[in-house]
Amino acid sequence: MKGTFTFKVDYRNLTFNFKIIRNITILQGDSATGKTTLINLLAQSLLPKKRHGISVITNAKYYVYTESSDRSWKETLENKKEMVIFFEENNTFIHTHEFARYVADSGNYFVFITRDPIKDLPYSTKEIYSIGCHYNGFKHVYEFNEVYKNFPYLDNNFDLIITEDSKSGFQFFSKFFCNSKVESANGASKFITYLDTLSNSDAHNILCIADGAAFGCYIRDLVEFSMDNLDKRITIWLPESFEWVLLKARVISFDSLTQILNNPSEYIECRDYVSWERFFTYLVEKYSDEKWKYTKGELDPYYYSEKNKEKIKGTLPKELQNINNTTKDSETKKMSLF
């Protein structure tokens, strides 16, 4: 299953408009914001005798999972194919390894209403939403709002740069930010532990680089750590992945690359790639030149040649492009995300 799926759900004076872009979407937020109403309307729209007046306009087949006393989730979902499946809150099985395997193999798209991160699933920081409401005449119009949007105030005077990656990405950024100290957290799940070790260090202005395409289950912890430790000015940069950076910069290129980068969801089969990061890795490995074949383990010097560093520089947020030539600014924001 691949593609982008749009939904318009109408009932009386309520309208929900939203898009599902990737195979895993997280919907969170406080009570009474419309999450339960949306799920109830979608569920009732599937009943043989749905509530009068419910209208669902979508280009997707969809299903709403509700707990059954006589069937397990595996039995309920085993025949669901090529669907967007919605899960109401408090289904604890979504946090199990077994369910994570099902998500990876099923070929479906999933929308989870949950306040807690799902640690076993690699979902994007861009696909974590809350529901916002505005009024259009007599209508309450509800839409999905990205929770971790880019912050407009950035800091670029870093004592330390920390990468999630310990391999190719770390090797590149060590060369690119050659006048700065660059270290690896050795994995997305270890960022907070690593930052904790810096409590007595001289590093007070820190840039964290992680693969945004699969960092969704850790982003809340990192942002909360940043807000709880304002003596550490922590900036977070979340490109889709290091491989995406190489493609975006055209360090590796091929005929259909522009179309893919402009609309990845139309090309990424979720049964084959549970996260977009894996798809971009596949593209880089497939299309890199045999002379300097890309591998995650050991980065060929070709990738951090001056020519390619200059290409990649142009794809970075402007605050990072001249990171080694900046001066201190005491008025910068304490925490930023971009």
pLDDT in tens, 295-310: 888 899 999 999 999 9
Instruction: List the single range of 52-66, 114-128, 138-152, 218-232 with lowest mean pLDDT.
Output: 138-152
pLDDT in tens, 262-295: 999 999 999 999 999 999 999 999 999 999 999 8
pLDDT of residue 261: 96
pLDDT of residue 204: 77
| Confidence grade of residue 255 (pLDDT, cut at 50, 70, 90) | very high
pLDDT in tens, 169-205: 999 999 988 888 899 998 888 888 888 888 777 777 8
Look at the pTM and tell me if it is higher than 0.85.
Answer: yes
Longest dimension (CA), the chain: 67
Q: Cα separation of 258 and 27, whole Å?
A: 30
Q: Is the pLDDT of residue 337 over 60?
A: no
Q: Is the pLDDT of residue 161 over 80?
A: yes
Residue 215: CB partners within 8 Å, gap ≥ 6?
A: 124, 125, 164, 188, 238
